[in-house]
Amino acid sequence: MGNVNTVTDLQVEDGIAVVTLDSPPVNALSAAVRDGLDAAFARAIDDALVSAIVLICAGRTFIAGADISEFGKAMTGASLFDVQNRMEGAPKPVVAAIHGTALGGGLEVALTCHYRVAVPSAKLGLPEVKLGLLPGAGGTQRLPRIVGAAKALEMVTSGTPVGAKAGLDMGLVDELAPEDGLKAAAVAFAKKIVAEKRPLKKVRDLDVKGGTPELFAEFRKANARKFRGFDAPEANIKCIEAAATLPFEDGLKRERELFMGLMSGVQSAAQRYVFFAERQAAKIPNLPKDAQLRTIKKVGVLGAGTMGGGITMNFLSAGIPVTIVEVKEDALQRGVGIIRKNYEASAAKGRMKPEAVEAAMGRLTPTLDFGALADCDLVIEAVFENMDIKKDVFARLDATVKQGAILATNTSYLNVEEIAAATKRPHDVVGMHFFSPANVMRLLEVVRGDKTAPDVLATVMELSKKIGKVAVVAGVCHGFIGNRMLSPRQREAQKLLLEGAMPWDVDRVLTEFGMPMGPFQMSDLAGLDIGWSAATSKGETLRDRLCEMDRRGQKTKAGFYDYDETRKAIPSPVVEKMILDYAAEKGVNRRPISDEEILERCLYPLVNEGAKVLEEGKAYRGSDIDIVWINGYSWPVYRGGPMFWGDTVGLKTIVERLRHYQNTGGDDFAPSKLLVELAESGGKLSGYGG
């Protein structure tokens, strides 16, 4: 317990005041922390025996930012600006001692200190853009005064922190401290400053270097694609521009205005919601407190195809050895070759060191021997998507793999309980549904069968963090959470073609909404012939007809679109004619279809399906569904996922429009019971399930 308030301690020793914050988990700038800082600095400044002040944090990190959970609530406690003014205006040196992460408001506080000392492992950054915000406590005005306009632009618009060593090179950090001796080093540094009578370095008094109009114009142009749809990057750029062109106080005012604009907007509300939703998804309700995690030291992967190879890479990269099993030597060699090629491509782009490639490959044991899976702690099956094959594989795994191991299936649609029933240990069986490319996509759907043991679930959730995935628990149903909700969207997209739209109309509406690709661009990319066979094709669907013409997608340079040499998609007159003929054959009178109808028909049934998932208890929470869509299907994060977006549209409106389409298009559009209930009671899908 601190002697200033519950989270702040002040000790004076040998003329140096040490202010310690201790507000777990991340020392965020809550009202109590601001009050504590304010009072502690007032006392230390008034104390004639104090010649310098060190600010340090207890626990795992320096201040990790403003307290995001306070946003949108009535403000209490000391104002952060007053605290910063007190610190910066102190008549004696103030030194920030940084470990862990100095992020957002945390770095902004450190920038009002006269000096900064950090351990080498510390990270410093302004990640507000990831919350749809900008650094609103002077960060956009002070950072460029130290690191220059170009570097500041990069840091505030990417939100990516820099390490302490890079910080030292840029002038953000004044001295590095030993990893286990931060406090002593910071105190010694403060004493040195006093002894040498060094000036009180105020960042606000420096000039911004390199903030030319050309820099901003070029930066905007170079990043236009990346920032498409987001409000926050442009507001961040405007702030750095203000820093380069206005006096400090005017720049601060501009920063404040732009910050308030973002803060009251729906994009930041969505992105802040996603921040907490992601952390919430990792929590399993009603998990027995005594659930011990199983140890996973060695993983087995069955199948060296695209999925098996991608899955394997996750573990190899995280330092976990993998035994990969195939049935044929050439398939095994091909799979291993692709894994190596992927790593080497990363190394060529500078994303990993060549020795790390060898280290990862060194953890891989390729084999044709099924028996080699016997001593694995977790085996993930990634074989052909067919129930009989999966059952056979699980029966063999049951007979081969040691007791206590976790047996996982990567199925995307099949019933995990039926697969588990092929073993005598269904409690050890779980779904681990990776998304392609499995080494890149962040989402992992963890499918819980009725018999899956709680410790199996907890172990897989924990392991997913280790391999850099965002895991969401799903119940057993066709397509689990994500693919189940995708299917009504695909159905409507196809129907719209018949009724009057063209593939490029549907794709344009969905990309303007913020999806990186529309459904037809996605089909062309994936290949139209997945699950199609020339032998059985009857030319019944548009897809059949395209494949029969060898228009199988990007790989054949033709699918729903034509493709030029640079893979640019061009609307195809052949496809247009084919769609018109097809509609005529089916006796459909095509009509003009508005963009609004395309959007509503593609997305409202998807939201409705999400409500059914919740109603049936196949997801714990509405926010889990949003995490699935953001990380597995690239739903625009600034719209918060389909449940959050549905709430912003208004559930009453969605129910009304679904009923409207139900009148003309049938019961595919019938609103779910839960959706109707929430619409009537004023409830929210995003808040459903807590």
Is residue 18 within 8 Å of 50, Cβ to Cβ?
no
Q: Which of 2, 36, 132, 139 binds ligand 3H9 (CB under 6 A)?
A: 139
DSSP 66: B
Choice from 103, 269, 406, 472 touching ligand 3H9 (CB under 6 A):
103
Segment lying near ligand 3H9 (by CB under 6 A), choices 99-107, 195-203, 241-249, 396-404: 99-107
66 lies in the binding site for ligand 3H9 (CB under 6 A): yes
In the complex, minimum distance from the CB of residue 470 to ligand 3H9, in angstroms, rounded to a whole number: 12
Distance of CA 571 to the CA centre of its chain: 33
Q: How far apart are CA 259 and CA 83, in angstroms?
A: 19
80 binds ligand 3H9 (CB under 6 A): yes
Residue 243: which of 254, 228, 234 has the closest Cα?
Answer: 254
- Please report how close the Cβ of residue 336 comes to ligand 3H9 at its closest, in angstroms: 33
Which residue in 54, 56, 64, 258 binds ligand 3H9 (CB under 6 A)?
Answer: 64
User: Is residue 587 close enough to count as binding ligand 3H9 by CB under 6 A?
Assistant: no
What is the Cα–Cα distance from 484 to 599, expressed in whole angstroms? 19
Instruction: Name residues contacting ligand 3H9, limited to 196-235 (CB under 6 A).
Output: none
Beta-ladder partners of 11: 18
Contacting ligand 3H9 within 147-206 (CB under 6 A): none
Comparison of 104 and 642: residue with beta carbon closer to ligand 3H9: 104
DSSP 261: H
Is there binding between residue 243 and ligand 3H9 (CB under 6 A)?
no
355 is catalytic: no
Composition of the chain by helix, strand, coil, percent to 5: 50, 15, 35
In 3D, which of 69, 230, 248 has the Cα closest to residue 158? Answer: 230
Among 100-108, 165-173, 226-234, 633-641, the segment contacting ligand 3H9 (CB under 6 A): 100-108
Member of 2, 36, 132, 135 binding ligand 3H9 (CB under 6 A): 135
Q: Could you tell me which stretch among 63-71, 175-183, 189-197, 388-396 binds ligand 3H9 (CB under 6 A)?
A: 63-71
Spell out a b/e string for 109-135, using b for 16 or more CB atoms within 10 Å of the CB, else e: bbbbbbbbbbbeebbbbbbbbbbbbbb
Q: Is 128 a catalytic residue?
A: yes
C-alpha angle with apex 426: 421 to 431, nearest 5 degrees?
95
CA distances from 148 to 103, 140, 396, 526 (A): 19, 11, 62, 43
Q: CA 149 to CA 482: how far, in whole Å?
A: 42
Closest CA to 610 of 640, 585, 588: 640
Minimum distance between the CB of residue 106 and ligand 3H9, rounded to whole angstroms? 7
Q: Which of 7, 131, 339, 432 binds ligand 3H9 (CB under 6 A)?
A: 131
Catalytic residue among 108, 492, 499, 609: 108
Catalytic annotation, pick one of 88, 128, 445, 499: 128
Distance in Å, CB of 124 to ligand 3H9, minimum: 12
Q: Is 85 in contact with 249 (CB distance < 8 Å)?
A: no
Amino acid identity, position 514: G
61 or 342: CB nearest ligand 3H9 = 61
Torsion angle (degrees, nearest 10) of CA 190, 194, 195, 196: 100
Q: Which stretch binds ligand 3H9 (CB under 6 A): 123-131, 318-326, 550-558, 605-613?
A: 123-131
Question: From the list 35, 38, 88, 128, which residue makes contact with ligand 3H9 (rule: CB under 6 A)?
Answer: 128
CA dist., res. 72 & res. 268, Å (int): 11
Total residues interacting with ligand 3H9, rule: CB under 6 A: 26
Q: Which one of residues 16, 26, 193, 509 is an interface residue with ligand 3H9 (CB under 6 A)?
A: 26
The enclosing H or E element of 615 equals: helix 595-615
Taking residues 455 to 484 in sequence order and writing x for each that binds ligand 3H9 by CB under 6 A, - otherwise, the string is ------------------------------
Amino acid at 229: G
Residues taking part in catalysis: 108, 128
**Residues at the interface with ligand 3H9 (CB under 6 A):** 25-26, 28, 61, 64-69, 80, 101, 103-105, 108, 127-128, 131, 133, 135-137, 139, 276, 279
